[in-house]
Structure 1
Amino acid sequence: MRLLNVQSMKLEEYFGSQIPRYAILSHCWGSGEVTFEDINRPSWHEKEGAKKVKLATQQAKKEGLEHIWIDTCCIDKSSSAELSEAINSMYAWYEHAVVCFAYLEDIIFEDIENSKWFTRGWTLQEMVAPTNIMFFDKRWILLGTKIELVGHLSRITSISEDVLLDPSRRHNSSVARKMSWASTRETTRMEDMAYSLLGIFNVNMPLLYGEGKRAFARLQEEILKETDDHSLFAWIIYPTSNRNNPDLENACGSVPSAPNSEQSFLSILAESPANFRYTGKVVPYPSGSRSHPCSMTSRGLSIDVRLRGDIAALECHQENDLSSSIGIDIVYV
């Protein structure tokens, strides 16, 4: 792990138990960021992104810390191996930080819910993982801590206060619920929508930039190896014109994107977290009710379900309603 020494402003590398106590920065990337190549040059102070680096290092000093991790300058992104290791380790790095500084540089004081920080894919894990977060506005004025703002953060993100206060409780959340947390977020690169969720689901996989939507499919395949939670398949395709229709919040299950075409079929796996936008209340039945775990094979998905006509009934339901039924349309070919 490469850290920035806040006294010398030089990068230092540490491994395992040698890693010192450190702060970590969460922010949205903008123009003129200070990169790994820049930080060793005297001219880095002239870059637009130097302001946040200076503010973050000064705050780390105030917190009694000698090191800070900042993604823009602590990762050598020219090395694909280092980038892959960093992304697969990032949740743990945020989790183990003494404090995280969340810099909401597009808002002033009380407009916290309007910050784009809540719309970016990478900042989801950066909000969930650390137990101690200090939120700052564009003037670097403290808005409050994660504990102080937890109710507000929960309303903005639809993540329960329990999970925000104790990140380990995310393991008790269904796959569909965790996917719903990311359903309205965006990343610049398509693949990052999947890579930014590795820590949320506690899985690892190699990075293959250029694979496009396949990255999210691979993420779901990795999740399948760790759980037999059928809510992974309880996603929705909905018409663009009805995306804000509240009635759809009670709908669930994948349906054909072009139902009038006999040649149109969908994968059992979703295309993106957006398909889980209305599935935040879908939870699995108690594990004892499943007779066979599901798995992805060379011939496709192996899953044990009950058939009700042309509907495959999934082992999941709407929260607090055990009588509800969620299924997938089956097309025989």
Structure 2
Amino acid sequence: MDAVRRIQTVRARPRARTGRGAGLHRDEERLHRHQLKGEALQRLQDRVAVVTGGGSGIGLATVRRFAAEGAKVVVADIDATSGGAAAAEVGGLYVKVDVTDEEQVRDMFRTAVDTYGGLDIAFNNAGISPPEDDSILTTGIDAWRRVQEVNLTSVYLCSKYAIEHMLERGKGSVINTASFVAVMGAATSQISYTASKGGVLAMSRELGVQFARNGIRVNALCPGPVNTPLLQELFAKDPERAARRLVHIPIGRFAEPEEIAAAVAFLASDDASFITASQFLVDGGIAGAYVTPI
């Protein structure tokens, strides 16, 4: 059992299981529920969506949600195994891409447009949170620069080339993955990650304002801690770090990727037609709670 699930299992109250979900694990039941909702809604029918970091975590959950709602999905990931598998699962297109490379990013969006005839949605989600990114006193300059390149520069590049294509259609939705740490101080330090996500939030606000009258909406998704491989890697060697995070979440658990994907699908859809330049918090109540570091 990974560090995240171990901490959550210890803290979670036993829950009675009744009805259809009685034989399912809690997380499997939640995933099934979100899949059914996506299939029922169909808000993204025939829209073309590019998802970076689409091979795992929030990206993979969003690929599945977009496809369930009828979108044509381009799965972009540097890992050909996971990215290719995700694309095959939903009948989409896989593109191998290093999101820090401008030429590769430009070609990724061009491939999406050439294949499907346009671009409606860009979920710029790829990111890293390496264990060597810690306190400002201990984080080296190489770790700092690497996180900025992957988390911030990539969003600049992806937003730039996505918006170029969206301008041709006069509409589009860009969702950039920021974080709750972009709006408040983190209980455990990740100095470069926090700075990069603050940059994503500021950039998304500006783009949302700049292109609003072109029919293009740009929003910053600000998730709380999510039970993904990224978080598991961060906490694997330090379960107490996970515990310090968990104590600050009013809901009492980490989010599951499918819950974040549901928020992304909303922002991508016409249901969010009057939402742009926003910080869209999906954090289990963290930002609304008064806490002090432990």
Same fold at TM > 0.5: no
> Greater relative contact order (Cα 8 A, min sep 6): structure 1 or 2?
2
Q: TM-score range by the shorter chain?
A: under 0.3
TM-score, structure 1 length as denominator? 0.25
TM-score, structure 2 length as denominator? 0.27
